[in-house]
Structure 1
Amino acid sequence: MESTTSVLVTGATGFIGRRLVTELTDGGTAVRAMTRHPERYGGAGEPVGADVNAPDTLPAALEGVDVAVYLVHSLDHDDFEARDAEAARSFGAAAARAGVRQIVYLGGLGDEDEDLSPHLRSRREVESLLGEAGVPVTVLRAAIVVGHGGVSWELTRQLVKKLPAMVVPRWTATRTQPIAVDDVIRYLAGVIDNPDAIGEVFEIGGPEAMTYLDMLTVASEMANGRSIPVVPVPVLTPRLSSYWLALVTDIDVTTGRNLIDSMATEVVVHDRRILDVVPGDPLPYREAVRRALAERLAEGKAV
């Protein structure tokens, strides 16, 4: 059954965006796929050219839109906090002028009373700035998203594949709650134009809270058929860690540092209200890893 709701998805060519656009269009929803280069777009939905960092491009993209999904961030920039704040404020204002009735945002987990990293602090600020002009915002807060093409998962995969043994800093003992990308897409689609989700903040995650070291160990077993030896190092700063990641993976230093800064903060789910709004059991971590590896193999790439 086709939906009468018109949805704009920002970041439509990204890891989450392209999957969400496909999911929504397959379900009969009219989707505008927002990208800076619509002439190059080959995915699902109707391509529309706009840039959250160029406010004058937003009105045309948002015209007639009921729900806007905001999936933009600037982790590959040193000044990402200022850039993301300005973009969120501009987008929220443009959405209000266009009569958008809901903004859906994928943010980051983390307790309010924690000393949040700049990355997580920025995600939290974006939540409020998107709604500053009056459009109700639905927030889904997640930790590591596991799926082929995701930056966090790609870090994990490359580390366990390329290293015969791993020197790990203290932050690998921090607990997190990874979630399969399939579940993220299911939750995003499920809260769009859902009256029970309007203006709400939900925490989303897989069924297991685990340390980053646990995640690396399981990923190594599944990708390599064996665990890799681990050597803990008491002192390895985020900056040194980011240079280390840049040496052994193809993740750039700035993105790596901004991600690692967040890994000293425990990010686990305490509130499971999302299960009442979008029912269904989330996938275990092992199944999420299996799917990510299978999708990579399906593209003809070695795991």
Structure 2
Amino acid sequence: MDRRVLVTGASGFIGRRLVVALAARGVPVRCLVRSPVQFPVPVEIVQGDLLEPLTLQPALAGVDTVYYLVHSMAGGRTEFERRDREAAENLRRAAEQAGVRRVIYLGGLGETGAGLSGHLASRLEVASILKQGSYATTFLRAAIIYGAGGASFEMIRALVLHLPVMITPRWVSTRCQPIAVGDVIRYLVGCFFEEATAGETFDIGGPEILSYREMMERFAALAGRRLAIVPVPVLTPRLSSYWVGLITPVKPSIAIPLIEGLASEVICRENRIRELIPFPLTPFNEAVMQALEEEKTLQKS
């Protein structure tokens, strides 16, 4: 295997898992990180920043495929949109100059339109920028990703464990299609080996469509907790983000764009990728149990 891969966002929630999975398949992996970090597998580490273009050419030298896993959420909508746009444009230019053959981008599900949250709209804009490159772009659109360390999982876990009675806004009735982090990694790795995914956009989600209320109620049952949910019409996403910031480890600066996105229905409109990369999808309850077990392991280590 001489098709070298560059993973941006390699130290993040998805990136770390992807690096391990690629290395296990014998793929030569180079990790782009802003600060020195250790990985549990032998990989090449290059320090750089997508917002600093001069650091990208050394990172991209000899690279066949780039995984783009970077997305800003903090700093207010105008600020994170600007950073996302600038980072994507820098990568596109540098990848073209380096002769990169493919870019695989993990973004978010969500319909287009004026009502789309800033968080989801920015992810769509990044996809649009990357697709303008001379390489082939694969765009995976994911709903909520469940796994230990993920912001959505940590937010719901903390709410369920600390608030037996929860006053919530209308977004608890919004439908989504949560997907286990392990399944996301399978799709990301599968795209590298399946050339038919090059230049295509795919929706990825789990086997069930649930409301956020159903997810929290199921989570509570699995964790052995009682939970009463009382929806109210006057609780805005911004107010919601403040009490989420008080109760959970998710910072308000991240909770605001995250919760604003919860007002948008995020379900798969097509399932073509299941034919190209087939495997049994993980049910929601099993994904929660896997995340809880992983969390226990991380706490012991």
2:282 alignment partner in structure 1: 283
User: Match for 1:41 among 34, 38, 42?
Assistant: 38
Q: 1:245 aligns to what SS in structure 2?
A: helix
Q: 2:158 aligns to what SS in structure 1?
A: helix
- On the 8 A contact 1:5/1:67 being kept in 2, the answer is yes
- In 1, Cα distance between the equivalents of 2:179 and 2:114? 21
The one-letter amino acid paired with 1:46 is E
The one-letter amino acid paired with 1:248 is I
- In 2, Cα distance between the equivalents of 1:279 and 1:4? 25
- In 1, Cα distance between the equivalents of 2:180 and 2:243? 26
Do structure 1's residue 292 and structure 2's residue 301 form an aligned pair?
A: no
1:26 alignment partner in structure 2: 24
Tell me the CA shift for residue 256 of structure 1.
0.2
Q: 1:166 aligns to what SS in structure 2?
A: strand
2:62 alignment partner in structure 1: 64
Q: 1:299 aligns to what SS in structure 2?
A: helix
Note the residue ranges of structure 1 that are not aligned, 5 or more in a row: none
The one-letter amino acid paired with 1:293 is L
2:88 alignment partner in structure 1: 88
- In 2, Cα distance between the equivalents of 1:81 and 1:72? 12
- In 2, Cα distance between the equivalents of 1:6 and 1:165? 50
1:52 alignment partner in structure 2: 50
| TM-score normalised by the chain length of structure 1 | 0.95
286-295 vs 124-133, which moves further? 124-133
- In 2, Cα distance between the equivalents of 1:37 and 1:230? 42
- In 2, Cα distance between the equivalents of 1:209 and 1:227? 23
Alignment deviations for residues 112-148 of structure 1 (CA, whole Å, 9 cap, x no partner): 3573111111000000111323221101100100000
Do structure 1's residue 253 and structure 2's residue 252 form an aligned pair?
A: yes
- On the 8 A contact 1:218/1:227 being kept in 2, the answer is no
1:122 alignment partner in structure 2: 122
Do structure 1's residue 201 and structure 2's residue 198 form an aligned pair?
A: no
The one-letter amino acid paired with 1:120 is L
- In 1, Cα distance between the equivalents of 2:59 and 2:235? 45
User: Match for 2:73 among 59, 72, 75?
Assistant: 75
241-250 vs 176-185, which moves further? 241-250
- On the 8 A contact 1:34/1:61 being kept in 2, the answer is yes
The one-letter amino acid paired with 1:24 is L
- In 2, Cα distance between the equivalents of 1:135 and 1:238? 38
1:156 alignment partner in structure 2: 156
- On the 8 A contact 2:57/2:98 being kept in 1, the answer is yes
Tell me the CA shift for residue 168 of structure 1.
1.0
2:137 alignment partner in structure 1: 137
- On the 8 A contact 1:12/1:34 being kept in 2, the answer is yes
Q: 1:300 aligns to what SS in structure 2?
A: helix
Alignment deviations for residues 233-275 of structure 1 (CA, whole Å, 9 cap, x no partner): 1111111011111111121111100001111111101200011
- In 2, Cα distance between the equivalents of 1:77 and 1:179? 27
| TM-score normalised by the chain length of structure 2 | 0.96
User: Match for 2:6 among 8, 18, 24?
Assistant: 8
1:219 alignment partner in structure 2: 219
- In 2, Cα distance between the equivalents of 1:208 and 1:113? 25
- In 1, Cα distance between the equivalents of 2:65 and 2:217? 40
Alignment deviations for residues 162-197 of structure 1 (CA, whole Å, 9 cap, x no partner): 112111110111000000000000000000152201
Which runs of structure 1 show a deviation greater than 6 angstroms over 4 or more consecutive aligned residues?
A: none
Aligned ranges 1:258-273 → 2 under 5 Å = 258-273=257-272
Identity score, percent: 48
Q: 1:160 aligns to what SS in structure 2?
A: helix
Note the residue ranges of structure 2 that are not aligned, 5 or more in a row: none
The one-letter amino acid paired with 1:13 is S
Tell me the CA shift for residue 43 of structure 1.
4.0
